[in-house]
Amino acid sequence: MSDHIESTLVLLKPDAVQRKLCGEIIQRFERKGLLISALKLLQLTPEMAGRHYVEHVGKPFYPSLIEFITSGPIVAMVLTGPNAVKIVRTMMGATNPVDALPGTIRGDYAMLMSCNIVHGSDSVVSAARETAIYFSEQEVVQRSLEEYYE
């Protein structure tokens, strides 16, 4: 895999905010070396949640997913770095916390698939689509590769 600089869209879901885990989770991403390009706290409307999870429309878990993700404030972030999409997915762990290994975010903080703490885009294309739901172009700050080597 070549070391492409990528950006990925990460959500700290309502359970993370409610349990006051935002600082700890953001610290894990920062310590790994990912750069924050954008960050905000917001509460999703059902319309925004429907845009975000459009790929899951019609699945049995969709109604409860939308209810949960709109149930309280979330933190949305754009994280940037070499291979950021894959690195964040690896750090998150498996979707089902039963399968998420210790040392991953879901493995360390989550018990249930329905409240699994964190979202990360599954591809660069998804990241671009999802980022536009949360941030204007002006809100996403360009971060430079040199910052890794300072």
Which residues are catalytic, by number? Answer: 119
CA separation, residue 58 to residues 48, 62, 70, 120, 121 (Å) = 17, 6, 18, 21, 20
Residue whose Cβ sits closest to ligand UDP: 95
Residue 119 lies near ligand UDP (rule: CB under 6 A): yes
Q: Which range in 37-45, 69-77, 101-109, 122-130 contacts Mg ion by CB under 5 A? A: 122-130
Q: What distance in Å separates the CA atoms of residue 33 and residue 31, rounded to the nearest whole number? A: 5
Give every CB contact of residue 90 below 8 A, 6+ residues apart in sequence: 104
Min dist CB 2 to ligand UDP, Å, is: 24
Site string for ligand UDP, 90-109 (x = CB under 6 A): -----x--------------
How many C-beta neighbours within 10 Å does residue 123 have? 13
Q: How many residues bind ligand UDP (CB under 6 A)?
A: 8
Q: Which residue has the tokens 């294309």?
A: 125
Among 22, 48, 65, 133, binds ligand UDP (CB under 6 A): 65
Q: Does 71 bind ligand UDP (CB under 6 A)?
A: no
Task: Judge contact between 115 and 15, C-beta under 8 A.
Answer: yes
Question: Quick one: what does residue 95 bind among ligand UDP, Mg ion, none, with the CB cut-off 5 to 8 Å set by partner type?
Answer: ligand UDP
Query: Distance between CA atoms of 23 and 16, rounded to whole angstroms?
Result: 10
| Residue range at the interface with ligand UDP (CB under 6 A); choices 16-24, 73-81, 110-118, 137-145 | 110-118
CB 91 within 8 A of CB 83: no
Residue closer to Mg ion (CB basis): 108 or 122: 122
C-alpha angle with apex 87: 1 to 116, nearest 5 degrees? 145
List contacts with ligand UDP (CB under 6 A): 61, 65, 95, 113-114, 116, 119, 122
List contacts with Mg ion (CB under 5 A): 122
